[in-house]
Amino acid sequence: MKKYKYLLFDVDGTLLDFNKAEEQALINTFQKYNIVLTEQMNQRYEQINKQLWKDFENGLIDKKTIVYTRFVQLFQEFGIDEDGIAFEDDYQDALGEGYFLLPHARDILEKLYQKYPLYVVTNGVSKTQYSRLKGTRIDQYFQDIFVSEDIGYQKPTREYFDYCFKKMKNIDLDQTLIIGDSLSSDIQGGINVGIDTCWYNPHCIEEPQDMNITYIIHDLKELLDLL
């Protein structure tokens, strides 16, 4: 088994349960504004949000366009007379309190950080990500935290990773592994810069045949066997 010295971790869907945090934040914020969140509205929000994040990963829009477009567009489509930008700010505050770890995340980090320098690589909103990492008390395990909003570039771009590598200093890319759940940002990002990749695939999605993924795991505990 190849020896690694540097481990890069995605956050949402890899260490933290974003789906649970998002669901709770949406419920709380819609209740705060006395708006009934229907199933139809929730599904449409997911569609809008997914497309905006895809455009962001492809470099077509910036982070502010995502967060200050999605609820504005949603409310316009459903004829809701509410300030989508103010709603977004309150939603981000609620999301920042989503302190939900995925199974085995803390145990794995506790073991790994004693042997490896660990780093966070995330495309999330900076204030929200720092709040959730601190709230779950896993920020202590990382040498550094790289949030796309602070950098000005995002996964999977080479510019994003080049910034991270420069900050890490003297990094050996041949001994670096990225761990994440997103094929389009984490795995593709690793491929773009020539580092090994570990796809965290808890839902057993079919492996794409056009991507050269180094490792695939279905449980974070499997990382210990790889390392």
How far apart CA 112 and CA 101 sit, in angstroms, is: 16
Q: Do residues 137 and 15 touch, judged by C-beta distance below 8 A?
A: no
**What percentage of the chain carries pLDDT values higher than 70?**
100
Chain segment 191-204, per-residue pLDDT in tens: 999 999 999 999 99
Q: Do residues 128 and 95 touch, judged by C-beta distance below 8 A?
A: yes
Angle at 21 between CA 202 and CA 121, to 5 degrees: 65
Query: Could you say which DSSP state residue 137 is in?
Result: T
Chain segment 23-59, per-residue pLDDT in tens: 999 999 999 999 999 999 999 999 999 999 999 989 8
Does the pLDDT at position 2 exceed 80? no
Mean pLDDT computed over 104-132:
96
For the chain, residues classed under CATH 3.40.50.1000 are: 6-17+101-226
Enumerate the active-site residues: 10
Q: Do residues 205 and 170 touch, judged by C-beta distance below 8 A?
A: no
Mean pLDDT computed over 79-107:
96
For the chain, residues classed under CATH 1.10.150.240 are: 19-95
Bridging pattern class, strands 144-147 and 176-180: unpaired
Q: Kindly report the CATH number that applies to the domain delimited by 6-17+101-226.
A: 3.40.50.1000
For the domain made up of 19-95, the CATH class stated in words is mainly alpha
Of 169 and 82, the one with more pLDDT: 82
pTM: 0.92
